[in-house]
Amino acid sequence: MFDYSVFSKEIQQAQDKGLYVRIRTLESPQGSWLVISGKRVLNLCSNNYLGFANEERLKKAAIKAIEEWGVGPGAVRTIAGTFSIHNELEKTLARFKKVEDAIFLQSGFVANQAVIPAITDAQDAILSDELNHASIIDGVRLSKAKRYVWKHRNIEDLEQKLQQADSEGARRKLIITDGVFSMDGDLAPLPGIVELAEKYDAMVMVDDAHGEGVLGDSGRGIVDHFGLHGRVDIEIGTLSKAFGVLGGYVAGKTELVEYLKQKARPFLFSSPLSPADTAACLEAVKILEESSERVENLWKNANYFKAEMKNMGYDIGNSETPITPVMLYDAKLASEFSQKLFENGIFAQSIGYPTVPQGKARIRVMISAAHTREDLDFALEKFRSIGKDFGVI
Ligand SMILES: Cc1ncc(COP(=O)(O)O)c(C=O)c1O
């Protein structure tokens, strides 16, 4: 009989270090306020940047799609056929991102697994920022290409690694970066990366999971933010954050998308998302195409909250986006701080290793367009009193 105590011991160790992840059970939909264990708490955790997760228009679109198409896709799209609604979402995403085409996948995580091993093999080089998201790291692990990890946002180091890859005879070079780094909220130096890619004839892939719905015109993302349309080869997107639903995609040139439809294993060997998910995603993109109001509210809220936290004396890192890392460094402290916030009506999870490096524990506050000024003031008041009690401000 397998000795399961090896798992219990590791769990105990995580608890001792403040690294045990407590999973809260929600008794209400995602929104500014949640009900957890019968208690109403302000939600500062979710990536539901624009409040779409429980939005009427999206819900109606999902219900209508179920009535029209049923609940399941039958099998993978290459075998059972594809609903026209999947195709429509891909065309709409491509239009929104101002690229030629897109391929819809089951999640942002899966999108990285799909594209990286499909376009690289043992003759190639992958150049990856050291703080890239776990889904990129795992996608890279699925490829036989040689890996070159460059220092976070460090263009000089990237150039050295490109030279090294060339001197080691790489056939194809793929530079990969998060657009917005999800735990710190800082931006990839995309203009510099693109220039280097052009100089060294490399491909650029950016994971825009936290840029969409946040950066650029009406939330078109980091490429739009930097005006780099046509100069970034591959954009990865997720529909689970600002778009409020579920799913992921790869956007770029027609040839790339065609190729992925023949080669990407999650597309070939796993069924697509349901009609309901797909229709809700489509509605979210349409709302963003109609108006930038939600994106503007998101920034108004984020700028207010971040400025007040800074004034209070909190260390909130170098975020350039609504992601607000409240740096506490010590994992145990962060865990206790989060618990205290919860007791005071605020749901804001602590984040520790391995999601962030050792010694960089934090509370990651996620601001949403759906928060009101009263919500933010409530949170600020609690951060003020609890921060004082813990002696961190
Ligand atoms: C940069 C990045 N890529 C991909 C993902 C995964 O997205 P999804 O939840 O759609 O799988 C995340 C989510 O945490 C992310 O931050």
The pLDDT value given to residue 13: 94
* Angstrom distance (rounded) from CA 54 to CA 146: 43
The mean predicted confidence, pLDDT, of the chain is: 97
Task: Summarize the confidence of residues 263-287 as an average pLDDT.
Answer: 98
DSSP-assigned letter for residue 31:
S
Structure confidence by residue, pLDDT tens digits, 179-229: 999 999 999 999 999 999 999 999 999 999 999 999 999 999 999 999 999
Query: Sorting pLDDT into bands at 50, 70 and 90, what band is 19?
Result: confident
Structure confidence by residue, pLDDT tens digits, 43-88: 999 999 999 999 999 999 999 999 999 999 999 999 999 999 999 9
Task: Summarize the confidence of residues 336-354 as an average pLDDT.
Answer: 96
* 45, 46, 109: residue to mutate for ligand 1 pocket, most atoms within 8 A of CB: 109
Domain topology for 15-44+292-389: Aspartate Aminotransferase, domain 1 (3.90.1150)
CA of 29 to the centre of ligand 1 (A): 20
**How much is the pTM?**
0.96
Res. 117: pLDDT tops 90 = yes
CA of 109 to the centre of ligand 1 (A): 5
- Name the token pair of 262: 């023949």
The strand pairing partners of 374, in sequence order, are none
The pLDDT value given to residue 18: 83
Task: Summarize the confidence of residues 304-332 as an average pLDDT.
Answer: 97
Element (H, E) at 346: strand 346-347
Task: Summarize the confidence of residues 325-329 as an average pLDDT.
Answer: 98
CA of 135 to the centre of ligand 1 (A): 7
Domain topology for 56-290: Aspartate Aminotransferase; domain 2 (3.40.640)
- Strands (DSSP E) contained in 78-151 are 101-105, 125-129, 146-150
DSSP secondary structure string, 301-339?
A: HHHHHHHHHHHHT---TT--SSEEEEEEE-HHHHHHHHH
* Protein residues with CB under 6 Å of any ligand 1 atom: 107-109, 133, 135, 178, 182, 207, 209-210, 238, 240, 248
Exposure string for 210-247, b = 16+ CB within 10 A, e = fewer: bbbbbbbebbbbbbbbbebeebbbbbbbbbbbbbbbbb
Atom 7 of ligand 1: nearest residue by CA position: 108
* 128, 238, 249: residue to mutate for ligand 1 pocket, most atoms within 8 A of CB: 238
Q: Which amino acid is at 73?
A: P
Name the residue ranges covered by the structural domains of the chain: 15-44+292-389, 56-290
- Name the token pair of 335: 């865990």
